[in-house]
Chains A and B, each alone.
Chain A
């Protein structure tokens, strides 16, 4: 398909385990964004990439969260030592150019459940 894809679509893990979430942006999109939506709460911005670099990591909730993007394409969001409060839907979006100039297209999300 031509849209943003994410995997896995659902992930159930035990507290304390590490998880990796993957995002494949639309081909040619240089900007990539990660968001989190917890049950009953609004959409929360986590981090964005322009190419392979992330200028601002202050949106990440704690140092257990990290993200990388290689080759200007696929991105992974890693959560170490997961906690129950990490349970949420993690959304990825991509846009053609610089932040603020182009529409963001969202992927279907990964639903993470930490038991």
Chain B
């Protein structure tokens, strides 16, 4: 059965710390992996990763995909309280007949 696993499920850090969030997957017909940040209701798109080994960066956030080992990491440097959220990892399938599969999310709390 296809699945996406994230770790840790919950994390508490102090402002200024660097965090690494993990996402591993077992999905047939893999096409792309997405990272989202979810505060309150709707998720906000962060990154879309399709190729292995190419780091994507946006400010203090960066992410990379390893298609051989079937995982991705999301790094946040110099964390701020505004980074507190649930970070979701999702895998998009190659064909139009497969479902999008989300991981359970990592709940990150950044305390002052």
Q: Residues of A with Cβ closer than 8 Å to B? A: 33, 42-45, 48, 50, 55-56, 59, 89, 91, 98-101, 103-109, 111
* Among B32, B41, B97, B102, contact of A55 (Cβ-Cβ < 8 Å): B97
10 pairs, CB–CB < 8 Å, chain A vs chain B: A42-B103, A43-B90, A89-B41, A91-B41, A91-B42, A99-B93, A101-B31, A103-B45, A104-B45, A106-B42
Residue of A nearest to B93 (CB): A100
Answer yes or no: B64 CB below 8 A from chain A CBs: no
* Among B31, B92, B97, B103, contact of A56 (Cβ-Cβ < 8 Å): B97
Number of residues from B at the complex interface, CB < 8 A: 26
Cβ contacts under 8 Å, B100 to chain A: 33, 45, 48, 99, 104
Known: A42-B103, A106-B42, A111-B41. A50 touches B96 (CB 8 A): yes
Known: A42-B103, A43-B88, A56-B99. A109 touches B42 (CB 8 A): yes
Cβ contacts under 8 Å, B31 to chain A: 100-101
Are A99 and B96 neighbours in the complex by a CB distance under 8 Å? yes
Are A103 and B48 neighbours in the complex by a CB distance under 8 Å? yes
Cβ contacts under 8 Å, A101 to chain B: 31-32
Q: Which of B56-112 contact A (CB under 8 A)?
A: 88, 90, 92-105
A37 CA / B109 CA spacing, docked (Å): 20
* Among A45, A55, A106, contact of B96 (Cβ-Cβ < 8 Å): A55
Are B92 and A99 neighbours in the complex by a CB distance under 8 Å? yes
Given contacts A43-B105, A100-B31, A100-B96, 10 further A-B contacts (CB under 8 A): A42-B105, A56-B99, A59-B99, A98-B96, A99-B95, A101-B32, A104-B34, A107-B42, A108-B42, A111-B41
Residue of B nearest to A109 (CB): B41
A99 CA / B45 CA spacing, docked (Å): 16
Cβ contacts under 8 Å, B16 to chain A: none
